[in-house]
């Protein structure tokens, strides 16, 4: 099931990433790099899709914690500026965290 959840990606449109509009006038350095790099754009789509799915599956207390973790992660990604490898690493780490969160969800046998 984890593979299905984390393997879920939506086709990335060239003009937008999942979490922001690439046509915006005030893009931060990390957002510009994400919009310019297909693999980072795809990682953004995968991360946001996975985050949204998990948000719907978690209890309110855990959901709030995950949202706080997401805000903290976003600040780390933004600190990368235009560094492609830093941004790529940030997505790999966040997707791993989200996968671990999914594995901890109590579900019936």
* 51-80: pLDDT as tens digits: 999 988 887 778 888 899 999 999 999 999
Query: For residues 57 and 73, what is the distance between their CA atoms, to the nearest angstrom?
Result: 20
At 25, the pLDDT band (50, 70, 90 cuts) reads confident
Provide the pLDDT for residue 36. 94
* 29-59: pLDDT as tens digits: 999 999 999 999 999 999 999 999 998 888 7
Please give the mean pLDDT across all residues of the chain.
Answer: 84
State yes or no: pLDDT of 22 exceeds 60.
yes
Query: For residues 63 and 85, what is the distance between their CA atoms, to the nearest angstrom?
Result: 29
Query: For residues 92 and 27, what is the distance between their CA atoms, to the nearest angstrom?
Result: 22
Domain residue spans of the chain: 27-103
């Amino acid at each position: 099931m984890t593979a299905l959840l984390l393997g879920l990606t939506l086709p990335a449109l060239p003009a937008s990433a999942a979490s922001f509009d690439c046509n915006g006038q005030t893009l931060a350095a990390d957002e510009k790099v994400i919009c310019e790099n297909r693999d980072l754009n795809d990682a953004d789509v995968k991360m946001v899709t996975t985050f949204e799915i998990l948000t719907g599956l978690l209890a309110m207390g855990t959901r709030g914690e995950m949202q706080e973790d997401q805000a903290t992660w976003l600040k780390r990604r933004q600190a990368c500026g235009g560094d492609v490898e830093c941004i790529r690493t940030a997505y790999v780490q966040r997707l791993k965290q989200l996968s671990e969160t999914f594995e901890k969800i109590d579900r019936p046998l």
